[in-house]
Structure 1
Amino acid sequence: MTTTRSGPRTVPYFSQYQSPHLVQEIAAGAKSAADDPRWARSGATSLEEYAFWAPRACGVACLRMALGFWRQGPPPAAMPLVRELLDAGAYVLNEAGTATVGGLIYQPFADYATTRWGLGARVDTDLAKDVIRKEIGNGALAVLSVHKSIRILDPAPPTRGGHLVLAVDADERTVTVHNPSGLPKVSQIHRVEWAAFYRFYAGRGVVLTPH
């Protein structure tokens, strides 16, 4: 676990993979989540369960970071949170129950964060830079939808959104995000200029507060 200072407190970093040092190889296709030797630390009951969920668990990693920031002690492991989010309707499996799953559904996620963990959680589908700066300045964290290629600052991402990062700090020029699938020593904790960030950012997310 690594950390970033946000005001007087420290925001922990958690990857969506149990072995963050493998992310570069996973992103390049040289390895998959099934090659992660630490998979059992996720709380998964099998390697297959871990391999299915780890690539989809960016929102869970963001929640774990927020819980680690505001609550005493380490946050729960990833897979117990996945199971609770399934029960809450924040993830919906297809009819087969296995092959595919849609992305995190914001409102059920926000409701779950409030009822289960006592956090404030507000869905915003028009979450502009100035609002993000104001919210973070007031002590919030923001789960934001970006394209996954933000980890390499792709000059021409194919689309915006589809992956979640946690914004932990912001000023007039830059935003600092904890990227659950960021590259080691490059973009796991990533300070990005707003002009670049907007190439990837879908303009929506969930603002989290401690209560």
Structure 2
Amino acid sequence: MTSSVPYVCQWATPELAAALIAGRATLADDTNWALSGARDRAEYIEWANHVCGMACLKMVLTHRDGDAPPLLELARRSLPYGAYVREGERIKGLIYAPFVDYVREQFALEAEVRVGVEVATLPQLLAQRRYFIASVHPGIRRPEQTPPQRGGHLVLVTAVEGDDVTFHNPSGDSPATRQQVTLPLSSFGRFFAGRGIAIT
């Protein structure tokens, strides 16, 4: 059942999400940073905005196993595979192909990179695979708006039923935009970059 897939926020305090997104708070204000698995506050501040993909992975692992390592531990363990790359002060990633190797070797997950995915084919994809980590514009939390581009953020698609897609958004800024979000495929498609990672 879709409802059994647990939700994981990419930030240690989900209730802080709206303030973080609006600029009314910074990651330094997140007093629960240690829950992320960060070694210190500085590591949390450096990484928390980059771990939407690890939040999706943690949801999958928790659904399968009942538990999963903390987000920053997952991120650190992915580094030898090249799932993230440092470019000076910038962190680049999630990089899909190394991530697929990482989850296969570390967690025995069957995963594959999918590109050129038409939104209309998502029902078929979800019939074949249990989860789909989809690249969407982060503005998907405001589906009535038109995004300037597609992609740049990852959400976990858990079901497609009829013309509706259901997903968890690691950076949702309210309960309604965070967990068990359901949108028409046509609305989802305006944000969807046509790529992602399919996981069984």
Report the TM range for the smaller structure's normalisation. over 0.9
Match of 1:30 in 2: 24
Q: TM-score, length-normalised on structure 1? A: 0.90
Q: Deviations over 1:20-78 (max 9, x none)?
A: 0110111101012221110001111111110111111100000000101112x311001
CA distance in 2, matches of 1:68, 1:102: 26
Match of 1:41 in 2: 35
Name whichever structure is richer in helix by fraction: 2
Q: Secondary structure at the match of 1:93?
A: strand
Q: Does 1:182 align with 2:176?
A: no
CA distance in 2, matches of 1:109, 1:138: 20
RMSD, aligned α-carbons: 1.4
Q: TM-score, length-normalised on structure 2? A: 0.95
- Show the 5 A alignment for 1:1-211: 5-6=1-2, 10-71=4-65, 73-94=66-87, 96=88, 99-189=89-179, 190-209=181-200
- Unpaired runs of 5+ residues, structure 2, are none
CA distance in 1, matches of 2:60, 2:191: 22
2:119/2:189 contact within 8 Å kept: no
Give the C-alpha shift of residue 139 in structure 1: 4.9
CA distance in 2, matches of 1:194, 1:61: 23
Give the C-alpha shift of residue 129 in structure 1: 3.1
1:103/1:162 contact within 8 Å kept: no
- Seq. identity, %: 38
- Unpaired runs of 5+ residues, structure 1, are none
CA distance in 2, matches of 1:111, 1:130: 28
Aligned length: 199
